A and B are shown apart, each in its own frame.
Chain A
Amino acid sequence: MPVRKLEINRSSIEVDAPDGMPLLWVLRDIAGLTGTKYGCGKSLCGACTVHVDGVPTRTCQLPVERVVGKRITTIEGLAPEKLHPVQEAWIAESVPQCGYCQSGQILTAVALLAAKPAPTDQEIDEAMRGVLCRCGTYPRIRRAIHRAARGK
């Protein structure tokens, strides 16, 4: 299998992965970064979301060769030193229940707030509708995004 160099969480990592292997499985089964989750394999649920060059991107169907030379940020690399304000807001609103989808939720919200520091409810709807949560934490996610936008 070809060895390729990926930039994941500001580190250069060599992975031995065949063409066509979705980034999700490279992260989880080769790079050992299990914070990015499998949910559907068809880009329907958003559990596998990471940032590629800052853009929230589904990884369950994204071939690894497409991300060579790009900046990949997973939940583990979002804020390694201290919590990101979105993570702090998630704690303040007690968002997670089972927690499984929350990496995708948080990374999607971070990208939303980077683009729109004070999003309206409608903008939040549009940004977040792609990420499924079976526990039903959506109302708390909305509150947490507003809280993070207010900066407290």
Chain B
Amino acid sequence: MPVVRLTRRQLLAAGLAGGAVLAIGAYGGYRLLRRRKQRRRPAPPREQPFAPSAFVAIDAQGAVTLWLPRPEVGQGIATTLPMLIVEELGADPARVKVVQAPADEAYGSQMTAVSASVRGSFNDMLAAGAAAREMLVGAAAAALDRPAAEFRVHLGEVIHGPSGRRLAFADLVPAAAKRRVPDEPALKPRSEWQYVGKAMPRLDLPAKIDGSARFGIDVRVPGMLFAMVVRPPATGGKVRRFDAADSLAVPGVRNVVAIASGVAVVADHTHAAMLGRRALKVDWEPGPNAGWNASAIDAHLERSLGRAGVVARRDGNGAKGLQGPGKIVRAEYRLPYLAHATMEPMNCTADVRPGQCVVWAPSQSPTTVRSVVAQRLGIPVASVTVNIPLLGGAFGRRVNNDYVFEAVDISRAIGRPVQVLWTREDDIRHDWFRPCSAHRLEARLDGDGLPVALAHRIAAPSILSGDPAFKDPVDPTAVEGAKEIPYRVPDLQVEYSRAEVPMQVGFWRSVGHSYNAFVVESFLDEIAAAGGQDPVLLRRRLLAPASRHLAVLDAVVAKAGPAPAGGGRGRGVAVHASYGSYVAMIADVRVEDRARVKVERVVCAADCGLAVNPDGAAAQLEGGIVFGLTAALYGRVDFEAGAASASNFDDYPLLRFDETPAIEVVHVNGAPSALGGVGEIGVPPIAPAVCNAIFRAAGVRPRTLPLSRGFGESA
């Protein structure tokens, strides 16, 4: 069995430098929450006379335009972030226009990642609204010669309280534009919030129900052509030679060009590009990774699990605490690689001209696109325009921008604007996969069945080691959600053993939480069963009193009511915190023949602190549950000869309508001034809640996912 240890140097040599550069952006995004305060930047040039910041402008007619700094991927920030500005500005929410901002330093961090699009822009949005309001009020106060404190702003008018006089934004714009932009505008007291914290219908709904919403794939530019790229089956492979004759004979095919990632077929329309690609003959150099198949990966993972890792957390005596009297519980868990499978496959449109470039990139990381494209073309960043269309799902896939570079390479080669589209097969096979992982857990229980020592070793490939700047022996994304185990166990150890497997890995909705929550919450149920404890009561005993974990657990138990019994039914619970939010779930399942599970009902209690748009937060939780359930039931990508063997929705199924349980979401606001993420938090707890329910229903303990491959051994 050929085992190739792929180092960073080899990866770079294998032509994946773009990936490496991108991972820097990803790591930057991962660290984004550490940078709290952003310096105020001037607005880009605007046609509106009043543009006090990059985020707000008002024209002479009083029409308000807001710029959305981060990509809308479905998470609803095209509503949530405008709500924050409107709250402070006093504009009429029904009459603001929201524009997706292009990549520009003026907007601060523009990443949509780590569930931080609201958290990361919250202060900027409030300040932008407040600054504009302060200037409008200042203009009104000067016009009426009254103190500013006597004015308030409501639905696009500045109102003088004592006299009742109303001044429209339009009348104040010229004078407001002459005033100094305040550095520290005073924010409204939260008690006066009108919109924030209340359900707001999404502002982007009308375009998303009539076909007018423009996603990346819908970009149309005069003179553009359509391209498909054939790529090496295994990452690291290369084109030896290709024969384009048959391809060029397909009606509508214009060009066949070699680019960094493979060979591109360019045509008048997508269909011709598909046929032309099918007709293309390519002789591949298989590259260093073509020897990897599922059994080689499994064997490598086993070896990683078998050796001591680097300690990520150690409390008390750590793993030494396992020595001693009492019952020992041991278990191992395995989780597979997963694909993102956004409904809109990867695509990008680029127009490269001498010395300049415009791209329409459905990307989660606009500023990374801009700087890397500039670097690739050898032109100044200022000569690259990155427009962000709507993204048809992202889930972490579009933090990496390989599809953008293809569009740029092709347009540069042919001298025309071009849209590159990946087929579904391209999209799944050339994904940046959720890493596989293997877990070994051991606990020692005292006479009451409570764990007094717990050790958890995680073996998994590292995402962040793709960045040469990343030096930490512990990849925080691999241990997240396990390292922060909330249960009070005196002797605790969490280790990370990095598996050096060269499959391309990336950020997948909830990242390490997606597997660690499954493992930790399943194992806690194993402890409960071994110690003869009720799973809910055991969690209550182990969680800190008055903790937010405990509050969501209590809330979900109260909401769920009595458990259904009989007919192969069972109930499972799981609690997990991620991205600053706390979520508890109860799943009610029915198991048939110890082999098929129907998830009938899911109840979810979530504490994300202040939910700016509670209905939007609920939608994200519902979506996270469906996403996590899809992975639990079906998600698995295997590799054969270094290439992913999954390809489309027949062999990489997604949860369908009729398989979706009834879902109920309740919000618990345990810290009204805290901001937690919502985009990913629904994913982690669903798999363990379902598997814990399967155990109660059928007496089998699933320790590998997906469940479609069987539930595993009897517990």
> Contact: A126 with B658, CB < 8 Å?
yes
> Contact: A100 with B215, CB < 8 Å?
yes
Interface of B, helix, strand, loop or mixed by DSSP: loop
Closest Cβ of chain A to B403, distance in Å, is 14
CA distance A30 to B272 in the complex (A): 12
CA distance A121 to B226 in the complex (A): 42
The 4 closest A-B pairs by CB, nearest first: A35-B211, A136-B626, A98-B74, A100-B392
* Nearest opposing residue in chain B for A104, CB measure: B343
Asked if B242 is at the interface (CB within 8 A of a chain A CB), the reply is: no
A-B contact pairs, 26 of them (CB 8 A): A32-B220, A37-B217, A37-B392, A39-B343, A41-B424, A74-B211, A75-B210, A76-B210, A90-B205, A91-B201, A94-B205, A95-B209, A96-B209, A98-B343, A98-B344, A99-B213, A100-B342, A103-B211, A126-B658, A129-B658, A129-B659, A130-B656, A136-B626, A136-B660, A137-B623, A138-B655
Asked if A131 is at the interface (CB within 8 A of a chain B CB), the reply is: yes
Give chain B residues whose Cβ lies under 8 Å from the Cβ of A130. Answer: 656
> Contact: B658 with A128, CB < 8 Å?
yes
Q: How large is the interface on B (under 10, 10 to 19, 20 to 34, 35 or more residues)?
A: 35 or more
Asked if A52 is at the interface (CB within 8 A of a chain B CB), the reply is: no
Asked if B76 is at the interface (CB within 8 A of a chain A CB), the reply is: yes
Give chain B residues whose Cβ lies under 8 Å from the Cβ of A129. Answer: 656-659
Give chain A residues whose Cβ lies under 8 Å from the Cβ of B656. Answer: 129-130, 132
Give chain B residues whose Cβ lies under 8 Å from the Cβ of A6. Answer: none
Q: What 0/1 readout, one digit per residue, does chain B (36-58) give for beta carbons within 8 Å of chain A? A: 00000000000000000000000
Closest Cβ of chain A to B409, distance in Å, is 21
Closest Cβ of chain B to A75, distance in Å, is 4
Give chain B residues whose Cβ lies under 8 Å from the Cβ of A28. Answer: 270
> Contact: B73 with A98, CB < 8 Å?
yes
Asked if A69 is at the interface (CB within 8 A of a chain B CB), the reply is: no
Asked if A116 is at the interface (CB within 8 A of a chain B CB), the reply is: no
Interface of A, helix, strand, loop or mixed by DSSP: loop
Q: What 0/1 readout, one digit per residue, does chain B (210-242) give for beta carbons within 8 Å of chain A? A: 111111011010000010000000000000000
* Nearest opposing residue in chain B for A122, CB measure: B658
> Contact: A131 with B657, CB < 8 Å?
yes
Q: What 0/1 readout, one digit per residue, does chain B (651-679) give for beta carbons within 8 Å of chain A? A: 00011111110110000000000000000
List 7 additional contacts besides A97-B74, A97-B619, A136-B625; criterion CB under 8 Å. A44-B650, A94-B202, A95-B205, A100-B392, A132-B343, A136-B627, A142-B657
> Contact: A91 with B206, CB < 8 Å?
yes
Closest Cβ of chain B to A83, distance in Å, is 8
Give chain B residues whose Cβ lies under 8 Å from the Cβ of A1. Answer: 251-252
B342, B424, B625, B627 — which one has the most chain A CB atoms within 10 A of its CB? B424
Interface residues in chain B, defined as those with a beta carbon under 8 Å from any beta carbon in chain A = 73-76, 201-202, 204-215, 217-218, 220, 226, 251-252, 268-271, 341-345, 390-395, 421, 423-424, 615-616, 619-620, 622-627, 648-650, 654-660, 662-663
Closest Cβ of chain B to A63, distance in Å, is 10
Q: Report which of B344, B623, B626, B657 forms a contact with A100, defined as CB distance below 8 A.
A: B344
CA distance A139 to B629 in the complex (A): 14
Q: What 0/1 readout, one digit per residue, does chain A (113-152) give for beta carbons within 8 Å of chain B? A: 0000000000011101111111111111110000000000
> Contact: B657 with A102, CB < 8 Å?
no
Give chain B residues whose Cβ lies under 8 Å from the Cβ of A18. Answer: 251-252
Give chain A residues whose Cβ lies under 8 Å from the Cβ of B214. Answer: 34
CA distance A28 to B626 in the complex (A): 30
Closest Cβ of chain B to A148, distance in Å, is 12
Give chain B residues whose Cβ lies under 8 Å from the Cβ of A39. Answer: 343-345, 424
Asked if A21 is at the interface (CB within 8 A of a chain B CB), the reply is: yes
Interface residues in chain A, defined as those with a beta carbon under 8 Å from any beta carbon in chain B = 1, 18, 21-22, 25, 28-30, 32-42, 44-45, 47, 74-76, 78-79, 83, 87, 90-91, 94-103, 106, 124-126, 128-142
Give chain A residues whose Cβ lies under 8 Å from the Cβ of B615. Answer: 94
A34-B218, A94-B201, A98-B343 given; A138·B211 CB < 8 A: no
Give chain A residues whose Cβ lies under 8 Å from the Cβ of B204. Answer: 96, 99
Give chain B residues whose Cβ lies under 8 Å from the Cβ of A87. Answer: 209-210
B217, B395, B657 — which one has the most chain A CB atoms within 10 A of its CB? B657
Q: Report which of B211, B271, B390, B623 forms a contact with A135, defined as CB distance below 8 A.
A: B623
* Nearest opposing residue in chain A for B215, CB measure: A100
CA distance A45 to B658 in the complex (A): 14
* Nearest opposing residue in chain B for A28, CB measure: B270
> Contact: B657 with A97, CB < 8 Å?
no
Q: Report which of A32, A34, A40, A94 forms a contact with B649, defined as CB distance below 8 A.
A: A40
Q: Report which of B211, B251, B624, B658 forms a contact with A36, defined as CB distance below 8 A.
A: B211
B214, B269, B394 — which one has the most chain A CB atoms within 10 A of its CB? B269
> Contact: B341 with A134, CB < 8 Å?
yes
> Contact: A139 with B663, CB < 8 Å?
yes
> Contact: B343 with A133, CB < 8 Å?
yes
> Contact: A140 with B658, CB < 8 Å?
no
Give chain B residues whose Cβ lies under 8 Å from the Cβ of A133. Answer: 343, 626, 657
Give chain A residues whose Cβ lies under 8 Å from the Cβ of B650. Answer: 42, 44
Closest Cβ of chain A to B552, distance in Å, is 20
CA distance A112 to B342 in the complex (A): 26
> Contact: B622 with A139, CB < 8 Å?
yes
Give chain B residues whose Cβ lies under 8 Å from the Cβ of A101. Answer: 343, 392
CA distance A101 to B138 in the complex (A): 47
